[in-house]
Amino acid sequence: MSRPAVFGIIGGGGFRAQYFLRIAQALPDEFRVGGMVVRDESKGREMEQQWRVPTYRTLEQLLESESLDFVVVSVSASAGYEYLLQLAERGIPALAETPPAPDLEGLHLLHEKLTCRGARVQVAEQYPLHPMNQARLAVIAEGRLGKVTEATVSISHFYHGIGLLRKLLGIRFEDAHIRAMRFQSEWVAGPSRSGPPTEEQIIPSQRDLAWLNFGGKLGIYDFTKDQHRSWIRSNHLSVRGVRGEIFDDRLTVLEDFRTPLHLNFKRVNKGELENQEGYFLKGILAGERWVYENPFAPARLYDDEIAIAGCLRKMAAYASGGPSFYSLPEASQDCYLGMLLEQAIHTGTDVVSERQPWAMEETR
């Protein structure tokens, strides 16, 4: 776009909504927050002072006062449905936070009321857009691993982990045979959204393991609750193909059948040592080749913010008539498989997914 994309936020200034505010502040040439819906007036005044963004008590007030390219719906799944419906009725593109609905019935309702009626909705799923995951996906897309058959994701929970598994394996709406278990132990409590711990506490640790067999392709889900904030647990991701393997920041591929290449994904940051270009992520190398270059350099954003900025850029393009990037059917499929995963844990029995209405609609 020749001007910054102007978007609104429905979110009351919560944890997730503030991501979008920080990104717009860091990238003023790309994005501008036209206004926010904050139902509590005193909270709204606080947000106005902190972010210099106008706030409104209702969606109607926001839309009457501001001209917006799209609206970010950053509220709970139960509250998000009504807002998405109102925006669809007005023909305004919406970027919804995940999950789009709290249960299977809600997902079916969204499909019926939104997708089937042509509503322009995308979902803000940032994990595939993280710099390292973009680098890994670039290597897969180049065919350096050959046909991918297995992936393990131990990075984030529920639909986030499922969505990343699907992306790495090249899976769309294929059915999955799911086996899962939960292991309970103990660990020292770490940071939370509120910040670092204030005292030592030994608390329960809950680890969920699941195997999703898509018929010739295996996805392994492994997540310990709050692992992504823990100081004493590591994240892990691996991908296996016919001709090579990604294991965290290592890449092993074949030059030919008797010549293995052992490479590393190397992050290149500016602003280190004597470099005076400012501090930001330049990109990621695999051996001597760039497999990811930060499209938002030199803005000083950390990886999660870079990924969410990627969602906003793709949403701005989508709102202008560009392609879908993470549709409501895709998000619904990830939530549905996540629900089945939890069912398999709680029942102790294997479950098999069934073709859902959004999958049949998407693949016509």
Q: Where are the strands (E) in 114-242, listed by range?
A: 121-123, 148-154, 177-188, 202-213, 218-224, 236-241
Confidence of residue 76 (pLDDT cuts 50, 70, 90): confident
Distance of CA 150 to the CA centre of its chain: 21
CATH assignment of the domain containing 232: 3.30.360
Confidence of residue 311 (pLDDT cuts 50, 70, 90): very high
Same domain membership, residue 190 and residue 155: yes
Same domain membership, residue 181 and residue 83: no
pLDDT number for residue 1: 65
Same domain membership, residue 73 and residue 143: no
Domain assignment of residue 348, yes or no = no
Domain assignment of residue 236, yes or no = yes
Q: What's the rounded Cα separation, in Å, for the pair 32 and 7? A: 6
Same domain membership, residue 252 and residue 110: no
Q: Give per-residue pLDDT as tens, 46-70.
A: 999 999 999 999 999 999 999 999 9
Same domain membership, residue 265 and residue 173: yes
Number of domains in the chain: 2
- Could you give the C-alpha distances from 198 to 159, 195, 215, 234, in angstroms and in order? 31, 9, 47, 22
Of 272, 274, 266, 271, nearest in space to 298 by CA? 271
pLDDT number for residue 357: 96
Who has greater pLDDT, 12 or 51?
Answer: 51
Asked whether the predicted pLDDT for residue 128 surpasses 90, the reply is yes
Same domain membership, residue 273 and residue 172: yes
Is-above-0.75 flag for pTM? yes
Q: Give per-residue pLDDT as tens, 26-52.
A: 999 999 999 999 999 999 999 999 999
CATH assignment of the domain containing 101: 3.40.50.720
Same domain membership, residue 168 and residue 23: no
Domain assignment of residue 117, yes or no = yes
Same domain membership, residue 61 and residue 155: no
Same domain membership, residue 270 and residue 213: yes
Residue 17 sits in which domain range? Answer: 5-123
Domain assignment of residue 345, yes or no = no
pLDDT number for residue 159: 92
Domain assignment of residue 66, yes or no = yes
Same domain membership, residue 250 and residue 161: yes
